[in-house]
Structure 1
Amino acid sequence: MSLNGVFSAATASAENILEVHHLSKHVGQGEHRLSILTGVELVVKPAQSIALIGESGSGKSTLLGILAGLDDGSEGDVKLLGESLGALDDEDGRAALRARDVGFVFQAFMLVPTLNALENVQLPALLRGESDAHSRTQAEQLLRQLGLGERLHHLPAQLSGGEQQRVAIARAFSGRPRVLFADEPTGNLDRKTGERIVDLLFSLNRDYATTLILVTHDEQLAARCERRLRLLDGKLQEVA
């Protein structure tokens, strides 16, 4: 499924999308201290697709949250889209960066329950200051292209799991993000619906040169990514 009807192909920037150096994450103190991440190093180029894999509890979601600026590491530096997240010491600065250039897809969908599908997709654009007319038109185009033209005015509770995930993806696409983070995007879906969601994610990667960074247990999804990185004992290892 292509998204060229909404997005034109982007010219990839020469700069790295993400740079991570000496990143560690610890919780607890003294003899109760637990190291979740230890000396993580990572460089991500524009338009790459990356799968973060590893056992349950290995810290994949923790790492994803730090990379996206939703959480802090204990040591080290994370530079996202040329901005050092450590230097953005207030949440407003990180939120502005995310609103401008970052998309998210969560396993739990994270839709606003009191807003219908169209309003959920339109919301990020309104928060960025875009006009109601423009953001509504783009949101409607996205939802129709994702097969939800008859569900524009349905609340999340009136949608199936697959429909809710498509709304969540449309919301993530609406900002034309340079990088999209996804945490188990097919985890709550049946196989057929999950495959369609995966196709949508890679359409964004292909048609708009958006960098994808995915946490997944799905081996088929991981195999479609350009790079696979395994988190083991707190360290990140490239998988051949």
Structure 2
Amino acid sequence: MGRPERPVDPKAGPIPRFAHELREVRRNAGGPSYRNMAKTAGFSATTLAQAAAGERLPSLAVVRGYLRACGGGDPGEWEARWKAARAESERAQPAVPAQPDQAAPYRGLTRFEPGDRHLFFGRDRVVEELTTLVSENRLAALVGPSGSGKSSLLRAGLVPRLQEAVAGRDRPAVLRILTPGPAATYGHLLTPAAGDPESWVGRGPVRGGLHPLPGPGGTRPVHRPAAHRPLP
């Protein structure tokens, strides 16, 4: 014999009331066990017990199986009861205030950009290592499997650090960010204009070499930072 069900108060709301009505159908059918009901209902004993627990509204299919296991019931009448309970339950739920100005911090599959720095967390140590690496080497490369977060690490982690470094220098410098593609699409970025300060160049995923830029005060090519070790 299974454990007795916890009582439900039909006055507590539409879902407890609906569960109470299901229990009444079962009681009138002689109180079959949920294990025996499962043989006819097409649903597990656990699912049937949860349907009458009064915690959540069961699906209409489960209700029909429950009634079938108890010897039937007017399908149309019970479907109307079920829809009424669902509608009443939805009306009773508190409305969630809209927050149109609050952007979701998770970017999904979209990479983080420099402007998302305030949302980029958890890689401070790696960003620090990249900053040191780029500062001490003319060429650095960040490698890692697709989807491991290389672009976000560079754009929302390293680039803001480099921008701060540029702003704090005695000599001005330009930070240029390139993405993979034909040289014609970013050739203008590789040719500093007359009077341009020193150029620091950042490029997309590793697909070949990046050549130094001629320019006043020397150049600082940066090739997807993180030198000779995979992205952790």
Regarding TM over 0.5, the answer is no
Select the structure with the greater relative contact order (CA < 8 A; seq sep ≥ 6).
1
Highest Rg: 1 or 2? 2
TM-score by length of 1: 0.33
Structure (1/2) with the larger strand percentage: 1
TM-score by length of 2: 0.34
